[in-house]
Amino acid sequence: MTANTRELIVTRLKNVPDFVLVKDMGYDFYYKRIIKPDTGVSDAFNLFCKNQESPTWLTYRGVLTDDYTIVRTEEAIKQIQTNLNATISKQRHYRSGTSVKCSFLLSDYQINVQPDTEADKLIFKLITNITADINVVIQAKLSFNVINGFSGAHALQLNYGILKELSYQNQSIELNNVFILDEFTKRLVHDDRMELSYEDLSNVEGQIQNKINLFKNTKIDDSFLKSFEEEFPKKFMKKFMALYEPLSIEFRNFYYASYIWSALLESEKRIAMEIKLRGFISNYLKQLKKKQE
């Protein structure tokens, strides 16, 4: 047998004769070419994955063809950092099935958002169950969120978020809103040149307040909640409604709801759910805009 374990940015399965082990962000992804009954090699691969400290491999139920290209998340992030000539100031990641999500901040990129103390205070109370009148200390930053699928379920992508760090006395939470800037999600091309231009980023930064205002001015009505309930698991809907229903009428809009969704997704760490929900919200807002035109 031959194994290719080199730390590559890109691994093309077409070039793998037998198997390849890809190490990324503390996880192992092992691709094994399937042998036909007549001993001939096929164009399909089985995929196995695990956390590197775990002895147990998980088996992906599907198969991949050798047209698939693997990109290491670590290298994609390094490329973004290099392209923007910036330094990563904070980073965290997790694996969900065969997908990896990494969220990070770049020290050279801050955002200017109008103060929204009352809104942030309310969100903090909802998430922490604090009921007292409090003074929340708030910091808002632009987050970079890379999602990488190792089984072909979705493309390597960069999503921008608004990360708010809210603290009160000895309690603090981070809320990374991945919905407000979803329109600017960028698919990172599977080649050796994963480019991100400053013009792209400056456009995002220039639109942040407009997108916040759009979400605040878009009410959540019963028809949306009905569609939401039909598309997503009852357990997830129940958790959302437990935080959403205490809101008074004036706060029942997409801005507040998007922070609740973001908090729930961060808690559950289900990447497939995040991608589905972001797409659902994006499509709903597009359809609503068409109706209003």
Q: Model's pTM, two decimal places?
A: 0.88
E strand map for 13-156: 19-24, 27-35, 41-51, 58-59, 64-65, 69-71, 88-96, 99-106, 137-149
Residue 40: pLDDT band by 50, 70, 90 thresholds? confident
- The residue-averaged pLDDT of 238-250 equals 89
Q: What is the mean pLDDT of residues 180-206?
A: 76
pLDDT > 50? residue 265? yes
Residue type at 7? Answer: E
Residue 126: partners with Cβ closer than 8 Å, 6 or more residues away: 243, 246, 247, 260
Structure tokens at 47: 């995929």
Provide the total of helices (H) and of strands (E) in the chain, helices listed first: 7, 14
Task: Report the percentage of the chain scoring pLDDT > 90.
Answer: 53
Q: According to the model, what pLDDT value does residue 283 have?
A: 94
Position 102 pLDDT exceeds 50: yes
Per-residue buried b or exposed e for 131-154, using 16+ beta carbons within 10 Å of the residue's own CB: eeeeebebebbbbbbbbbbbbbee
Q: Which residue has the tokens 């603290």?
A: 167
pLDDT of residue 5: 34
Give me the chain's average pLDDT, please.
86
Q: Determine the average pLDDT of the residues in 113-122.
A: 70
Structure confidence at residue 178 (pLDDT): 95
Token pair listed for 153: 């379920």
Please, which residues have CB within 8 angstroms of residue 82's CB and are 6 or more apart in sequence? none
